Amino acid sequence: MHVLVTDPIANAGLALLREEGHTVETAYDLSHEALLTAVDGVHALVVRSGTEVTRDLFEAAPDLQIVGRAGIGVDNIDIEAATDSGVVVANAPEGNVRAAAEHTVAMAFATARSIPQAHARLQDGTWAKGEFLGTELNNNTLGVVGFGRVGQEVTKRLAGLGMTAVTFDPYISEDRATQLGAELVDDLDTCLDRADVVTIHTPLTDETEGMIGEAELRRLTDGYVVNCARGGIVDEAALAAAVENGTLAGAAVDVFADEPVSPANPLLSVDDIVVTPHLGASTAAAQENVAVSTAQQILAVFTGEPVSNALNAPSVDESSFPAIEPYIDLADTAGEIAVQLFDGRVERVAVTYAGDIADEDIDLVTASALKGVFTPLEWRVNAVNANQVASQRGIDVTESKSPQSEDFQSLVTVTVGRGEKSVSVCGTQFAGDDARIVRVDGYRVDAVPYGHMLVAYNRDEPGVIGFIGTVLGEHGINIAGMFNGRETFGGEALSVYNLDDPVSDPVLAELESDERIVRTKHISLDNGTSLDR
């Protein structure tokens, strides 16, 4: 097989491919036009962040089987186009976890002890021994925002050095956090209130962008912020101001909203902020690890074996695919709705199949349901890595089947829960390609799952639906469809509205000001985020 490498990677990865008898060609700094010519006849393409892998590239590479990203981020790869062309996209998320964790620890000590500042003063010829009074991390509290792989490794290291760890992560189980040496708290504010040093380890999503701003930083009086995750999660201007005015004792930042960072960025001009140019993964060991991991996944594709870090949908047996295909997206959507309706941390996910669908091989459908549940959790969670994410987060996943389905030929139910609390969403497919949500928490509805949805729990009294319609109309929100269900006459009812526009917090507050309305939820099926109040 022919492997083309267009960005430099460690020789260990190239050697592994050559040892298996494959032709490896390196061609760096190609123009896009030259790359379109070079990929003809190529079976595997290895890139880092420097190569743009676009739809026209896939069209120019009819023999391409896999694009291997030697690292984590895949912003430069058109994954939808890859899937359309039947090309696997795989990254190497594990290879630089240790490097990122160690850099985070180093940055925490650097800011707490003013190491770069003291170094600069001494180089300038000033013995400033009396000007730097550092903070010992021992016996202080570490706040970990995001408890994924890197967050867990940072916690292990700093807990071993005498810090007490608390973490906020809505998608990690309490048992898993405790097992790894951290106390799980229910919200970000509690984590910030208790922390002396906060370290960020979440992906950059619609949900996390700007998550830590001026109000959040005020909760960290005399504390420190370390961000080696992604730029844009922490408001850079607010962080610079908080350190400069003394609200915070210091900060350490390795990532920026725009990179390469502009010389005018406010973080660069504050003495007590340590900055590095996105060095988290920049170690020889990390680069070798990601190169070898990428090569191993290419070899797996060539031999027809599973690809552990594939980022797009896996192949399915041709004979069984037509029966399950309509339920893949439906399960994803049901999971996405369920997790947005659930108010709290998810510790378990159950996927239940009833009717004809129960006779099929539904592993991919279950994985797709998990993808929907985890969509707000982590960038690029998909049907391939969803089960792995659940395992890492300590989330219990169960799957069950029943040959009988009341009222429907096939029914898929996704339930998310924690303790005794749970939310269930049931979906089915009518004739053709007509997906419907038919039950929400036992309420019978008939909702079309797309775009923006408003779910209202209310008392079953006259005028409620009219009131909701009036409020939405007054705010210019058009109702595309409405579906109502109730348990008993005069009891509690549930209404689902398909909307052309999102519902803002003030509109939700106005709806809930009516004593007949118990609560409301805005559901977005565009990016997995909700405007929940």
Catalytic residue flag (residue 103): no
- Structure confidence at residue 532 as a pLDDT band (50, 70, 90): very low
For residue 175, what are the contacts with CB-CB under 8 A and spacing of at least 6? 394
| 299, two tokens | 């070899």
β-pairing, 396-402 vs 23-26, is: unpaired
| 184, two tokens | 């799980």
Reported as a single tens digit per residue, the pLDDT across 173-187 is 999 999 999 999 999
Q: Rounded to two decimals, what is the model's pTM?
A: 0.68
pLDDT of residue 329: 87
Backbone φ and ψ of 444, nearest 5°: -80, 125
Report if residue 280 sits inside a domain.
Answer: no
Residue showing tokens 């539904």: 362
Report if residue 476 sits inside a domain.
Answer: yes
Report if residue 342 sits inside a domain.
Answer: yes
Quick one: 259 and 333 in the same domain? no
Report if residue 48 sits inside a domain.
Answer: yes
- Structure confidence at residue 385 as a pLDDT band (50, 70, 90): low
Summarize the confidence of residues 490-514 as an average pLDDT. Answer: 88
Catalytic residue flag (residue 461): no
pLDDT at 384 over 70: no
Range of the domain at 236: 97-275
Query: Which residues is 423 bridged to in the sheet?
Result: 416
Report if residue 370 sits inside a domain.
Answer: yes
Q: How many residues does the chain have?
A: 533
Query: Domain holding 438: CATH number?
Result: 3.30.1330.90
Report if residue 309 sits inside a domain.
Answer: no
pLDDT at 157 over 90: yes
Query: Domain holding 45: CATH number?
Result: 3.40.50.720
Q: How far apart are CA 104 and CA 108, in angstroms?
A: 6
pLDDT of residue 313: 58
Reported as a single tens digit per residue, the pLDDT across 101-128 is 999 999 999 999 999 999 999 999 999 9
Reported as a single tens digit per residue, the pLDDT across 19-38 is 999 999 999 989 999 999 99
Catalytic pick among 103, 230, 345, 380: 230
Catalytic residue flag (residue 259): yes
pLDDT at 428 over 80: yes
Report if residue 134 sits inside a domain.
Answer: yes
- For the chain, give percent helix, strand, coil, nearest 5: 35, 25, 40
Quick one: 60 and 151 in the same domain? no
- Structure confidence at residue 430 as a pLDDT band (50, 70, 90): confident
Compute the Cα dihedral for 469, 471, 474, 479 and give only its sign.
negative
Backbone φ and ψ of 523, nearest 5°: -110, 130
β-pairing, 410-418 vs 421-430, is: antiparallel
The letter for the amino acid at 295 is A
3-state secondary structure 238-292: HHHHHHHCCCCCEEEECCCCCCCCCCCCHHHHCCCEEECCCCCCCCHHHHHHHHH
- Structure confidence at residue 164 as a pLDDT band (50, 70, 90): very high
Query: Which residues is 453 bridged to in the sheet?
Result: 498, 523
Q: How far apart are CA 379 and CA 148, in angstroms?
A: 12
Quick one: 232 and 245 in the same domain? yes
Residue showing tokens 């000033």: 126
**Strands (DSSP E) along 382-505, which ranges?**
396-402, 410-418, 421-430, 434-440, 443-447, 452-459, 479-486, 492-499
Catalytic pick among 19, 136, 214, 259: 259
Catalytic pick among 194, 278, 444, 519: 278
**pLDDT averaged over every residue in the chain:** 89
Quick one: 140 and 43 in the same domain? no
Number of independent structural domains in the chain = 3
Quick one: 200 and 338 in the same domain? no
Biggest CA–CA distance in the chain, Å, is: 83
